[in-house]
Chain A
Amino acid sequence: MPSEGTRDAHVHRMSRRKMMKGVAAVLGAMALPAKDAPASVWESFFQKNFRELSPEELNGVLSRLQKEYSEKYKKAVTVRATPPVEGVLYGYGLDLSRCIGCRRCVYACVGENNQSRDPQIHWIRVLQLNKERGVDLEEAEHYYNPAKVPEKGHFYMPVQCQQCEYPPCVKVCPVQATWKERDGITVVDYNWCIGCRYCMAACPYGARHFNWKKPALPPAEMNPETHYLGNRPRPVGVVEKCTFCVQRVRNTPGRYTACVEVCPVGARKFGNLLDPESEIRYVIENKRVFILKEDLNTRPKFYYFYAT
């Protein structure tokens, strides 16, 4: 019986292992940007996680993105990375006794935050609930479309990112592309996200949304005031979510979020939880307040309340 060595010594033998190595090398090479790709593609390919960028590197990234977006959308786009304001923890209040379910907030958010129009991405979902059943999410309907709202016997509960103190979405991210900032806002680094969608499965509020296709954002409707961690245009294959309009609120003075400003019934309240004079503190101290899915211990900073 000839041994292994003597039998195949004269044959070039393609082992399974060798073949797999070759396939991996070819696929790996294909994943790299093409040789004649613009320098910016190579730069974004080798870009570090947002939190590891040095100030100089961050400036480079921001100016590269600014140039890229300005060319793409044919207008002067600014991309900022404004850090959290010290001594601020954002909190949000939503008055369920006022909300009439008109969805103005949904579309104001889309306009402000450059979501994809087609396929459609909405960061706010307005639930129509039965007054007799109360907050019974099994019975919630978000495709309601009567001629006029509110409909008799119903109340409305808009749901968006609750900016949890213990965000389950952050916990499950395998690459740390999403994290909670010091001011309580959970953000995503779209350049670091690998699109695994674990966070979407982990979020109990359905607040995270995936770009299944290349987002369609008409240049005329594009909001050019953007934040790296917020409303800058997203690539295909990444997850996005409400950031409390990080591009607006992280300033002194900072603007109210787009949903607060558009609400025709003034049901939406926003402010600093650490400031005893703020509207949100007044709400928490004087009104009947609840948080959604309290039993999950996510500790949302989004407070539903009844003003009457």
Chain B
Amino acid sequence: MNTERMRRASVPAAAALLLFLAAGWASAAEHPKATPPAKKERAPEHLQFAVPTPPFTPGIFPCSECHKEMKPNPTRRELKDEHTNIVLNHAQGQRWCLDCHDVSNRDKLHLVSGEKIGFEESYRLCGQCHGDKYRDWKVGVHGKRTGMWNGEKQYLLCVHCHNPHDPGFKPLAPMPPPVRPEAVRK
């Protein structure tokens, strides 16, 4: 008897559900914008940070300016004619120019995956090895942020503070110490 009652009750319930669904579908059809997109399109990771332009040596960029006339030589060697001022002090012995700089497009860097990236996205390149720093940098904890604490912030690229060829932070001259109290007693 119980099951019979349930069956009798379920018929109008199912009808009501159908009606409700149909109404919902109709209203969605009328206002297509009201339905949320199935998957929220996330901006590509490399577009999420507003960074200033990389600190190039004046006149050095674009690299292709000089390199377009040259035939690329992909053999690992010490550079003797150009870029002699660059002394690699960054995992030296394990790495050389073309591990980061792209050989086919001189104005780009490349990731391990082979993806070519611009110099303004160089943090992705650094983040391949320094994942912990990259993670902290993205949330604003590694490195300096300026701007608004509750609004638009400016980031710096890794290379604004760390020379990519010699990344250790260089010592600075300190500003003057405070005046000792005995010096102000007059």
Contact = CB atoms under 8 A, between A and B. Distances in A.
A146 interface: yes
A256 B149 contact: yes
A150 interface: yes
Nearest to A279: B140
A125 B181 CA distance: 14
Given A143-B180, A255-B149, A256-B147, A100 B141 contact: no
Interface stretch (A16-24, A47-55, A167-175, A257-265): A257-265
Size bracket of the A interface: 35 or more
A15 interface: no
Nearest to A275: B150
Interface stretch (B24-32, B90-98, B104-112, B165-173): B165-173
B161 A254 contact: no
Interface in B137-186: 139-152, 156, 161, 169, 171-180, 184
Contacts of B169: 100, 265
Given A254-B149, A256-B149, A272-B150, A307 B141 contact: yes
A227 interface: no
A184 B169 CA distance: 34
B172 A102 contact: yes
B136 interface: yes
Nearest to B184: A119
A119 B175 CA distance: 18
Nearest to A93: B141
A307 B142 contact: yes
A92 to B, nearest CB: 11
Given A252-B151, A255-B147, A272-B150, A102 B175 contact: yes
A149 interface: yes
A93 B145 CA distance: 13
The 9 closest A-B pairs by CB, nearest first: A253-B151, A266-B144, A253-B148, A148-B171, A103-B175, A266-B143, A279-B140, A143-B177, A149-B174
B161 A265 contact: yes
Given A102-B172, A146-B174, A266 B151 contact: no
Given A149-B171, A149-B174, A264-B172, 6 more contacts: A254-B148, A256-B148, A265-B144, A265-B169, A279-B140, A282-B140
